[in-house]
Structure formats: structure tokens, C-alpha cells
Amino acid sequence: MPALLFAGILLLQGCSLLPKSEPEERDAASPVASASNGSGREAFTVDVRAPDTVRDVLVHNLEIQRYRQLDDLGPVEISRLMVAAEGNARELLNTMGYFTPTLTLELRETPEGKAPREVRITVVPGELTHVSDVRIDFTGPIAETPESGARREAIRADWPLRQGQPFSQQAWDNAKAGALRSLTARRYPTGSITASRAEIDADRGEARLSATYASGPAYRFGPLVVRGYERYDPDAIRRIARVPSGSDYDQQQLLDAQQRLASSGFFDSVFLTLDTHETDPLAAPVIAQVREAPLQRVVLGAGITTDSGARFSADHIHNQMPLLGWRAVSRLSVDRDTQSLGTEWSAVPRDSGWRTFGSAQLKSEVSGSYTVDSGRLRGGESKGTDHIDRSLFMQYDYAQNHGFNAPPSASAFSLNWNWTGRYFDNASAPTRGQGIALELGAGYTLTGERAPFTRTYARWVGFVPAGRVQNADRTQSRDARIQLRAELGALVAKDSAQIPSTLAFLTGGDTTVRGYSFRSIGTVRPGGSIIAGRYMGVASVEWQRPFVYDGRFTDWESTVFVDAGAVADKVGDLQPKVGVGVGARWKSPIGPVSIDLAYGVDVKDFRLHFRFGFTF
């Protein structure tokens, strides 16, 4: 019930963001008329009669609207305002690409109306101007070096306002700015527009466009200069940032270095810039302005999920441990089914990017039909780059199972290698790309008969385009897509090997097989109890489509999905359990929210799944 209530509140909040349908007959002056001067009646109203493509812009931007509250205006003053309004309307129409409009302005007496007079503006926009020719030129090093030819052609190819497209001032400004951003994103950070011209042939409805870009000198990254630090070693800051000194300037690499510093936990704010003032372009310093985070910090959190109910967490962060100088993050987490206490210590990365880490965790959780009390010690090396994380570590596990006819407790030691690659267009709310993770482990059991085992786990998420969705007037479009998911797990050992249940597999829940409770799909023992199994397979297909309301795009998407998953101790015993359903995705101001209603075919019951954010 708390999950249903929370999901309902979020749905209501999201619905409040949907565009509201407007009545066909509305007061054209309503955006301004809402501000009353308290005198009772306005001097006049404004009625704009024009096609929908231009009407809203005129209604909201005509200067004459500002004078409606001056109730002492007479017919002569209003007539003078109408003369100015005609020129103002033509200017606004010009910015939208209409250079031959026909305008009729009338002053009508309306003694029984909202105001004693009405200014009626009738607009026939005329022919919309289209782009007939585009010319993009360059000056400076980008135009002088043969190796820059591909770069020049790429900027020209990406120019968005192409021949045959409608011309507008906004589209023209956006095209110029977009090409400048592309120029300054790599090698030429001081690039600029030296000349631009839009020649309009109003009689023929044509626009000839030209723009000239000066690249300025080509820049290379120089040394990192840190400002604002007091507590932390600047050389350690350099190793975290990993600015590629000596390579060509790339804005994305600068942003990636800034993100690495910001996410390290050592700083409350980070801002990186390339120093282009009176410096050698071939070794331009990178200025890092930082504000250090407190040495220690406590973070409290609370949340709720449909899988495990209400959750409370408390984190303690120490950014510079005594003696070691490592960073330590310790966490206590409690929810309905799981209670855990853990800590992770990590050193500052070396020049190679690798860092030493160690971690320990105690956990009590519901696993299938049993409660498992477990512990884990881990130590090794890890390295994180822009898209790839990898680690190599040794691990000790033990698990004590509690419940009627519970499996025997066990412990094991293993050597593990993990690799994760993320290639999404957006890390927090992807619509294109893919992610893949692979875990390989080999070890020995330490309880009962000493036996070797191997553990392999892989998961993949990918997005495949599935057409485009357009708004009502076909001026905007967004991609629909199919999200594919797959998981495979295998724990290979002798049947008699006693392996900790925390190394085996369970599935089911919000992010695996919807329609089933969290980790409820496992190996079924005689009597119906469920334990973690040695083999697992999960597959999911989900169609995601942008939602159009009242002819306009919203922050919502609709989904239809099919999930299937199975766990068993032998490959031949894998029997998939299927969940089907529909859902909604909301791009909320604080991140993506997913709400799904799924039907578990095997359990013959509906289940609501709610989750926040995207992680891989």
C-alpha cells in the first residue's frame, strides 16, 4: 500500500505537467489581460485572427498588448498604437519566415464587451520563405591545413538549416550557433563567426544563407593547474582528472576530466577551463578551480521500492583516513528484506589509472524461501575510464542459511575479474547505445570437501530504433525504440560442492522479471521451497514510445514488455517464468521514473513495479 500510494502521488504530479487542452474560442489578450489595474474595465481588447502557425507568437509578443490596462486611452491614441502594431506584427512575421504578409487592422466599438473598444488584427501570412542556397566558409588554420578538410566537410554536412527547409530567424540563429559549437568542440576553442548573411528574396520566397567561421589557432592540452585546494595533494588531483596533456584540445575530454573530479567525492564543486589568454596554443594550461569537500561527512537517506518496501540508509564518508590516506565509505542499509553493513576503502589512482581497494560486508537477507546471513571480504585493483570499469580481486565469502530444511552453510575463496562497458547516449536516461558487463571467477570451497568451482555472469542492455513519432503539426519528432535485456549466469562445480548461496543465482523483480516478487525465481526443492540455483537465464523485450497529448510531446512514454527468466541447478531443468505488462516512463525534474503493471503468467497475479533512475 505505501508503494501504491507513492506511485499514485508521482503519477498525479506528472499529469500536472501535461499540456492542457485550450478551448477553440479564447480571449486573444488573456496572457496580458490577467494583470488587472483594478479600475474595472480596460481601454481595449486585442483579437488576433490568424492561422495557428503564427497566432500564438503574435498574441504573446505584440507590443500593443502592454497598453490595454491604460483605461484613459481614447480612439486617437489607440489608432496611433495600431499604426505601430502593424509594423511590430510584420517584424514578428518576418522572424518566422513570412515576408509578404497581408494585415488588416480595425478599431471596433464594443460597448457591451469586456472593454469599450476592440482592436482586430487579421493576418494572412503569405508564402513561407524557404532556404535556396547555403554557403559555409572558413578562415584560419582550419582552412589552411589539408588534414582539416574532413573536419570542414563534417561541419558543413551537419549544418541543420539545409536547402529546401523553411527559413526562420530562430532556425538561422540555431544553425549558426550549432556550427560554432561543433568548430570549438575540438582543436579550435577560440573559433568565432566573422561574417553571416541571410539574403531574402521576398517575391520568390527564397533565402540565401552564408556564414564564415574563423578557427583561430589549434590548441593542445598543457599541464593541469589546480586552484582552491588546501587539504588534498595536487598530484593526486592530477591523477584523478587524467587530463591528456599533449593531445589535441577536445571539449568532451575536458568535461570528462571535470566529471571524474566531481564524482571522486573529494570536492563540492569543480570547474575546468582551458587557458587561452597569452599562452602557447601547443601547451595551453588547464585551470581546475575546486572547492574541497569536508574531510568527513554523514549522509542519511530514505526511500521505498515495490520489491523491498521502505528503506533507510546511513553513509559515513572519510576522504582521508589516518595513516593510509585512503578514502573510506561505510554504509548501513535497512529495508524489509535486507539489512547490511559494509565499508569500502580505496586509494587515489596511480598514473596508470589503477587503484588499490578493499571492502568488507555483513548482510542478512531473504533469499528465496530462506534467510541468509552472509559475510564478504574483498581486496584487489580497479580502474575506471570514461566508458569502461574493470577490476581484479580476491574474495572470501561465507553464508549461513536459516529456515526449515535450509541448505547447509558454506564458505569459499575465489579470484575474480569484472569488466563493464557503457556506451549509452545518456548515462542516466539512455535512448540509444548498449551496455555489457562480464564477471569471471574461479575458486575453492572451504566447507566440507575442498572442491574447485567457476562462476560466470554476463548481462547486456541495448536499444534498437523502432520508428519515429511526430507531433500533430509534424514539426517535431522523437524516436520510439525497443529495449532488449539479457542475463546469463553459470556456477560450475561438483554436485557435492558446498558453495555459499550468495554466489548462486536468483531472479525476479523490478529490473529482471516483472510480475514476480524480488528474487523469488530460483531452484524449487521438494516441498516447494526456493533456493538460489547454479544456472540462470533472463531475457526481456520492451517497446518504448514517446507519448503525444493534445498534439504535443510530453515528458512521458508508454511501454509494452515481455520478460522471462529461469533458475535451476541443471541447464536441462531451466523452465522460464514469463511476465507481461504495460508501463509508463516519466522524465521527472530529478530523473527518470518507471511505473509498470505486470502479470506473472506462472503465479497468475498482477504486480505493480515502481523504480527511480537507470543504472547499469
- Please, which residues bridge with residue 292 across strands? 267
> Looking at residue 306, what is its pLDDT?
73
Locate the DSSP E strands across 368-514. 370-384, 388-402, 410-424, 433-445, 452-470, 477-493
> Looking at residue 491, what is its pLDDT?
97
> Looking at residue 478, what is its pLDDT?
87
> Looking at residue 506, what is its pLDDT?
94
Q: Is 13 helix (H, G, I), strand (E, B) or coil?
A: helix
Phi/psi-derived region of residue 29, left when phi > 0, alpha when psi is between -120 and 50, beta in every other case? alpha
- Say if 2-124 and 221-292 have the same CATH topology: yes
Between the alpha carbon of residue 29 and those of residues 33, 47, 455, 504, the distances in Å are 6, 7, 70, 68
Phi, psi dihedrals of residue 282, rounded to the nearest 5°: -85, -5
What's the start-to-end Cα distance of the chain, in Å? 28
> Looking at residue 33, what is its pLDDT?
38
Distance CA 184, CA 193 (A): 11
Distance CA 565, CA 603 (A): 13
Per-block mean pLDDT, blocks of 10 residues, the chain (616 long): 42 41 38 43 87 90 88 82 92 94 91 86 93 94 87 92 92 94 94 94 93 94 92 89 92 92 91 91 94 92 80 93 92 93 94 94 89 95 90 96 86 97 89 95 93 97 91 80 97 94 94 92 88 96 92 92 96 95 91 93 94 84
Distance CA 148, CA 157 (A): 14
Instruction: Read off the DSSP letter of residue 63.
Output: G
- Among the listed residues 373, 405, 392, 502, the one whose alpha carbon sits nearest the alpha carbon of residue 438: 392
> Looking at residue 404, what is its pLDDT?
82
Instruction: Read off the DSSP letter of residue 447.
Output: S
Return the C-alpha cell found at 242.
587524467
Q: Superfamily for 221-292?
A: membrane protein fhac (3.10.20.310)
The H or E element that residue 5 is part of is: helix 2-15
Return the HEC string of 521-540.
ECEECCCCCEECECEEEEEE
Distance CA 336, CA 332 (A): 14
Is the whole-model pTM more than 0.85?
A: no
Tell me, what amino acid is at 534?
Answer: R
- Please, which residues bridge with residue 134 across strands? 209
Distance CA 309, CA 452 (A): 38
- Cα torsion for 240, 435, 470, 167, to the nearest 10°? 40
Contact 484, 462 (CB under 8 A): yes
Instruction: Read off the DSSP letter of residue 486.
Output: E
Please identify which residue in the block is written with the cell numbers 544456472.
535
Locate the DSSP E strands across 202-245. 206-214, 221-227
CA 10 to chain centre: 19
Quote the crossing angle between the two packed helices 149-157 and 169-184, to the nearest 10°. Answer: 150
Residue 489: Cβ within 10 Å count? 22
Instruction: Read off the DSSP letter of residue 250.
Output: B
Q: Is 587 helix (H, G, I), strand (E, B) or coil?
A: strand
Q: Is 89 helix (H, G, I), strand (E, B) or coil?
A: helix
Please identify which residue in the block is written with the cell numbers 588546501.
230
Tell me the HSE value of 37 on the side-chain side, using a 13 A CA sphere. 11
Counted residue by residue, the chain has a size of 616
Return the HEC string of 262-290.
HCCCCEEEEEEEECCCCCCHHHEEEEEEE
CA 545 to chain centre: 16
> What are the residue boundaries of the structural domains of the chain, listed by start?
2-124, 130-214, 221-292, 349-612
Distance CA 616, CA 606 (A): 26
Please identify which residue in the block is written with the cell numbers 495600431.
82
Q: Is 586 helix (H, G, I), strand (E, B) or coil?
A: strand
Quote the crossing angle between the two packed helices 75-95 and 169-184, to the nearest 10°. Answer: 40
CATH tag, 349-612: 2.40.160.50
CATH tag, 2-124: 3.10.20.310
Contacts of 193 (CB under 8 A, 6+ apart): 176, 180, 211, 212, 213, 214
The counts of H helices and E strands in the chain are 9, 27
Burial class (CB in 10 A: 0-12, 13-18, 19+), 336: middle
Q: Which own/partner pairs from 522-530 qualify as long-range (CB within 8 Å, at least 24 positions apart)? A: 522/368, 522/567, 523/368, 523/567, 523/568, 523/569, 523/573, 525/405, 527/405, 528/369, 529/368, 529/369, 529/370, 529/403, 529/404, 529/405, 530/368, 530/369, 530/506
Tell me the HSE value of 599 on the side-chain side, using a 13 A CA sphere. 6
> Looking at residue 611, what is its pLDDT?
87
Domain spanning 130-214: which CATH class is it, in words?
alpha beta
Instruction: Read off the DSSP letter of residue 68.
Output: T
Residue 54: Cβ within 10 Å count? 20
- Among the listed residues 615, 484, 473, the one whose alpha carbon sits nearest the alpha carbon of residue 542: 484
Distance CA 483, CA 90 (A): 48
Could you tell me where the DSSP H helices lie in 16-148?
30-33, 52-61, 75-95, 141-144
